[in-house]
Amino acid sequence: MSNVLVVAEMLDGHVRKSTHSAITFARKATAGGGTFSILVIGAGAQAASGELAAYGAQKILVADDASLKNYICERFAPTVAAVAKAGSFDVVTATASSYGKDLLPRVAAKLGAGYAPDISDVTPAGGKLSYKRPMYAGNAYGHAELTTAIQVVSPRQSEFAAAEPSGGASPSEVVAVTPPDAAASRVEFVSMESAKSERPDLGEARVIVSGGRALKEQFAQVLDPLANALGAAVGASRAACDAGYAPAELQVGQTGRVVAPALYFAIGISGAIQHLAGMKGSKTIVAINKDAEAPIFQVADYGLVADLFQAVPELVTEIKKVL
């Protein structure tokens, strides 16, 4: 039996969708017995906590304080660790986003806990939890068990579907904010600069249209009409980003974003192993490439060997006819 503490991620006063994947992990981890609670931490947490009341948590724990207005790991980690100890939780989790990857290692250090990052599955059996984790760019998987009293785990958002409300209303409880680490005095929040787009975030999009270096300077000219027609997010290969055809925040792959949308278009992308590691979990993959031997066709559900500069505009025309 395992009791799980889910640490919610907030942005602009609302709970991010990535938190719903952590809830799915918690539900699966407690399938063999136990409960899960959700910690909403940050300035405005009280108002945001209502967004999670219907997801079946035993409690919604709220740490709301003006000192937590801007995320700094050294300010958040002490409270998360204190709540985990006070509540006798066996597992602490947050999705493996930039937030979770930054926060959880410090929480683990404070708790003296084993840390399993970027897991793709969890199996409760015999009173223990076994974690499945991708290795070698997803070409192999390892299975691990943590032996510490408290375990810290970050599940991949692309591997755990966003949880749906389960009904009911979880009770809310205010928890105290723990004083920050001494290191917090040496860290200053300067500003948040985020790209504003009407398109969905890569990690949350149901459809992604990605392009490779073959698009060259016409990257946006070719892909934007298709993305607009499908209401899709736009992604890119590392080669396209390195060449300056697309901004770095659009990179999909081992060193970029790991995604698993319902539909993924790989346009002018050869299918290097590093890119496949970031998108091969997609439910349906469509590849367009003039090279019939491109590795991307080995993982694609649908493949079109064609000149992308001709094929994509024709595809957009046909899509518009049926939408």
In a domain, 199, yes or no: no
Domain co-membership, 106 together with 52: yes
Domain co-membership, 239 together with 142: no
Average pLDDT of the chain, as a whole number: 93
Q: What CATH number is given to the structural domain containing 71?
A: 3.40.50.620
Distance CA 284, CA 96 (A): 23
Q: Which of 117, 151, 186 is the last residue of a domain?
A: 186
DSSP states of 250-272: GBBSTTSB----SEEEEES----
Residue 167 has pLDDT above 90, yes or no: no
Residue 201's pLDDT band, with cuts at 50, 70 and 90, is: confident
In a domain, 43, yes or no: yes
Residue 199 has pLDDT above 90, yes or no: no
Domain co-membership, 182 together with 258: no
Q: Which of 186, 220, 248 is the last residue of a domain?
A: 186
Residue 194 has pLDDT above 80, yes or no: no
DSSP states of 165-226: P-SS---EEE-PPPPPPGGGGG-----------SSPPTTT-SEEEEE-GGGGGGHHHHHHHH
Query: Amino acid letter at 48?
Result: A
User: Of 94, 22, 8, which is closest to residue 51 (Cα–Cα)?
Assistant: 8
Domain co-membership, 140 together with 75: yes
Domain co-membership, 35 together with 178: yes
In a domain, 71, yes or no: yes
Residue 232 has pLDDT above 90, yes or no: yes
Domain co-membership, 236 together with 100: no
Domain co-membership, 158 together with 214: no
In a domain, 170, yes or no: yes
User: Of 30, 12, 45, which is closest to residue 90 (Cα–Cα)?
Assistant: 30
Residue 11's pLDDT band, with cuts at 50, 70 and 90, is: confident
Domain co-membership, 169 together with 223: no
Residue 308 has pLDDT above 70, yes or no: yes
Domain co-membership, 125 together with 233: no
Residue 193: how many CB atoms within 10 A of its CB? 5
Residue 172 has pLDDT above 90, yes or no: yes
Average pLDDT over residues 51-59: 95
Q: What is the pLDDT of residue 139?
A: 81
Q: What is the largest CA-CA distance in the chain?
A: 61
Domain co-membership, 105 together with 212: no
In a domain, 278, yes or no: yes
Domain co-membership, 13 together with 94: yes
Query: Could you tell me the pTM of the whole model?
Result: 0.84
Domain co-membership, 212 together with 308: yes
Residue 195's pLDDT band, with cuts at 50, 70 and 90, is: low
In a domain, 159, yes or no: yes
Q: What is the domain count for the chain?
A: 2
In a domain, 227, yes or no: yes
Residue 179's pLDDT band, with cuts at 50, 70 and 90, is: very high
Domain with 222 in it = 207-322
Residue 7 has pLDDT above 80, yes or no: yes
For the chain, helix, strand, coil in percent to 5 are 35, 25, 40
**Over pLDDT 70: what percentage of the chain?**
99
In a domain, 313, yes or no: yes
